[in-house]
Amino acid sequence: MRRLGWSDVTAKSLWLNRRQLIAGGAALAATPALARIEAAPSGYSTDLAPNTFEEITSYNNFYEFGTDKGDPARHAGGLTTDPWSIVIDGLVDRPGTYDLADVVREQPLEERIYRFRCVEAWSMVIPWIGFELAGLLNRVGVQPGARFVAFETLVRPEEMPGVASPFIQWPYREGLRLDEAMHPLTILATGLYGEEMPKQNGAPIRLVVPWKYGFKSIKSIVRISLTADMPPTTWNMLQPQEYGFYANVNPKVDHPRWSQASERRVGAGLFAGREDTLMFNGYEAEVASLYAGQDLAVDY
Ligand SMILES: Nc1nc2c(c(=O)[nH]1)N[C@H]1C(S)=C(S)[C@@H](COP(=O)(O)O)O[C@H]1N2
Ligand SMILES: [Mo]
């Protein structure tokens, strides 16, 4: 284990300051107070220094609100996230439309500090709050024929200015193979930095799959379907030569238009060098066995 460093202290003290501000009732302009969430720490957390709350909530990809990195923070504030329900259907024993509270009920919340690597070659370290997707899937009962899990994001044009653009065939969709979905690293996140999920990060509930490129981690989920066949996924539908279904972080398989061998840590500063990208984003020991016998240059 690495000892706490300077940047840990910086990120942590910003976090504490924020908490004190909220507790003290101070209004942060354009930053609504988010409800605190209690969660247990996890052995799956990295001991890298997390990015600041400000970095994590101001540099986002959430095309439903626009394609600029600042658009989600600018436009997601008006998203209604309560009430929220999720359809769980397909090859499950207990299909239905579940209220968010029912989905989260009895799922043990943990803080998972994960590395996060976007396919665009930037990265962050994010202290998510969430629970294992496996816990929910076990509760609804996965039927024997199920081999994949498909996810869909809300489409609400009145609150999502970005969906006016036909660039993506809405809803944003993603998918995992069932064994990937059941892996303990795969979580549904309902918060970060000890608070409920900021809207620009995919409130009220989003997927986080830390060994895959960020586009797999679909936000603001309204549907989870268990399927026999590999589901269509947004980036693969747009550019199949550039974005595969698996999208495992892999420094040896370049994007056709740029190298994936290294990455820029958001917030690292102008003079910080790029960092080497790690196989499976640093989670090789945990997940490599899922892909035994697969050629990862073919199944990219
Ligand atoms: N619904 C939806 N989910 C999405 C996206 C999106 O545009 N729409 N962008 C993806 C991409 S490309 C990335 S890198 C991550 C960004 O998550 P963050 O903004 O919380 O860092 O969300 C992913 N999930
Ligand atoms: Mo991304």
**What is the pLDDT confidence band of residue 270, given thresholds at 50, 70 and 90?**
confident
- In the prediction, which pLDDT does 32 show? 66
- Per-residue pLDDT, 280: 98
Cβ-based neighbour number of residue 281 at 10 Å = 24
CA of 269 to the centre of ligand 1 (A): 23
Strands 110-117 and 40-41: parallel
Return the structure tokens found at 70. 């600042």
Ligand closest to 172 (CA) is: 1
Percent pLDDT > 70 in the chain is 89
CA 92 from chain center: how many Å? 24
Its pTM stands at 0.91
Q: How far apart are CA 29 and CA 73, in angstroms?
A: 13
CA–CA gap between residue 2 and residue 10 (Å, rounded): 16
CA 202 to ligand 1: nearest atom: 20
Q: Kindly give the distance from the C-alpha atom of residue 299 to the centroid of ligand 2, in angstroms, as a whole number.
A: 19
Structural domains in the chain?
Answer: 3-291 (3.90.420.10)
Tell me how far the alpha carbon of residue 199 lies from the centroid of ligand 2, in angstroms: 17
Q: How far is the CA of 1 from the centre of ligand 1 (A)?
A: 30
From atom 12 of ligand 1, which residue's Cα is the shortest distance away?
Answer: 215
pLDDT of 204 over the 90 cut: yes
Q: What is the largest CA-CA distance in the chain?
A: 56
> Residue 15 C-alpha to ligand 1 middle, in angstroms?
23
Q: What is the pLDDT of residue 23?
A: 47
Residue 195 clears pLDDT 90, i.e. is over it: yes
Out of 219, 260, 265, 281, give the residue to mutate to test ligand 1, the one with the largest number of ligand atoms within 8 Å of its CB.
219
Q: Which residues line ligand 1 (CB under 6 A)?
A: 60-64, 118, 153, 172, 201-202, 214-215, 217-220
pLDDT for the residue numbered 222: 99
Q: Is the pLDDT of residue 121 over 70?
A: yes
Per DSSP, the residues of 106-163 read: TPPPEEEEEEEE-TTSEEEEEEEEEEEHHHHHHHH-B-TT--EEEEEE---TTT-GGG
The two three-digit tokens of residue 115, written as one number: 């590395």
Mutate to test the pocket of ligand 1, among 69, 190, 212, 217 (most ligand atoms within 8 A of CB): 217
pLDDT digits (tens, 9 = 90+) for 57-106: 999 999 999 999 999 999 999 999 999 999 999 999 999 999 999 999 99
Residue position matching structure tokens 């890298």:
48
Sign of CA dihedral 228, 230, 232, 233: positive
Task: Check pLDDT > 50 for residue 157.
Answer: yes
